[in-house]
Amino acid sequence: MSEAPADGLVTGADRKRRCFWGASSEDYQRYHDEEWGRPVADDQRLFEKVCLEGFQSGLSWLTILRKREGFRAGFAGFDPAKVARFGERDVARLVADAGIVRHRGKIESTINNARRALELIEQVGSLAAYVWQFEPPQAERPSPATWAALRAMSSTNTSLALSKDLKRRGWSFVGPTTMYAFMQAMGLVNDHVEGCHMRATVASARRDFAPPRPSQPALSVAPRPQRAPAGAASAPVKAPGKSRGKAPRRA
């Protein structure tokens, strides 16, 4: 992917201004406009995203995006209850599956994380209820959300806290940078650059979203911060990609 323009925005053939990575291919444009940054409360989608962010490590998100249907077929739609029952035969099957990234360590990590997800769901009621306790405080978000501000953020205090808590619970491939990319994609933050045509849409979706509450507090999870009032600016975002100045990590 080419270097980002100074403001992190490009104008597409439809004359809409987008985060530059969102106009680099048709696949990215659909993902940028239809998915990235919209709040998610579905446990399977959240689990899928955690796993695919782990598989992305060292690769571009576009590689994972184009193999996503293969991953879904191979991992039973990322239903944690089904993946948790996978055994060595499934590992061997997946290692031979050209439709996914055939990394044994990441395949085994996904199975382990499914088992850990079931434990967490048993404790707090849903994966969504757990994850949304980590929606960051407004003070952590850069304002205005310029490309310069967003590209400087590869992780945050909140993504570090989420990473540490998941690791404490036995999850793997959940480092703070990976967790920040997860937060960007699943709508815990709005990292569409100021001027992107999707920023206001995502901000509206976040205002209308009612985060699920845990059935009981999860251990070592800080109280969920208060949301900023409607219309308040959000902090910068990290675009999908492997390195700064290139397309953001969008999953």
- The domain that holds 152 is classified in CATH as 1.10.340.30
Q: Which of 21, 31, 130, 180 is catalytic?
A: 31
Write the pLDDT tens digit of every residue in 151-167.
999 999 999 999 999 99
- At residue 3, the pLDDT reads 77
61 part of the active site: yes
- Omega of the bond leading into 176 within 30 degrees of 0 (cis): no
The parent domain of residue 130 ranges over: 11-65+126-208
Examine residue 140 and state whether it is found in any structural domain, yes or no. yes
Compute the distance between CA of residue 114 and CA of residue 47 in angstroms, rounded to an integer.
8
Compute the distance between CA of residue 152 and CA of residue 23 in angstroms, rounded to an integer.
21
Examine residue 137 and state whether it is found in any structural domain, yes or no. yes
Examine residue 156 and state whether it is found in any structural domain, yes or no. yes
Examine residue 231 and state whether it is found in any structural domain, yes or no. no
Q: Which of 36, 61, 132, 180 is catalytic?
A: 61
Examine residue 93 and state whether it is found in any structural domain, yes or no. no
- At residue 87, the pLDDT reads 98
Examine residue 100 and state whether it is found in any structural domain, yes or no. no
221, 125 contact by CB (below 8 A):
no
Q: Which of 53, 132, 135, 147 is catalytic?
A: 53
Work out how many domains the chain is built from and give that number: 1
Cα 243 versus chain centre, distance: 17
- At residue 218, the pLDDT reads 57
Examine residue 102 and state whether it is found in any structural domain, yes or no. no
176, 163 contact by CB (below 8 A):
yes
Examine residue 46 and state whether it is found in any structural domain, yes or no. yes
| Average pLDDT, rounded, for the chain | 88
- Each residue's pLDDT, cut to its tens digit, for the chain (251 residues) gives 567 889 999 999 899 999 999 988 999 999 999 999 999 999 999 999 999 999 998 899 999 999 999 999 999 999 999 999 999 999 999 999 999 999 999 999 999 999 999 999 999 999 999 999 999 998 999 999 999 999 999 999 999 999 999 999 999 999 999 999 999 999 999 999 999 999 999 999 999 999 999 987 655 444 444 444 433 333 334 446 543 334 445 44
191 contact partners, CB below 8 Å, separation of at least 6: 37, 145, 150, 184, 234, 235, 236, 237, 238, 239, 248
Cα–Cα distances in angstroms (integers) from residue 166 to residues 11, 63, 67, 120, 148, in the given order: 39, 26, 26, 10, 30
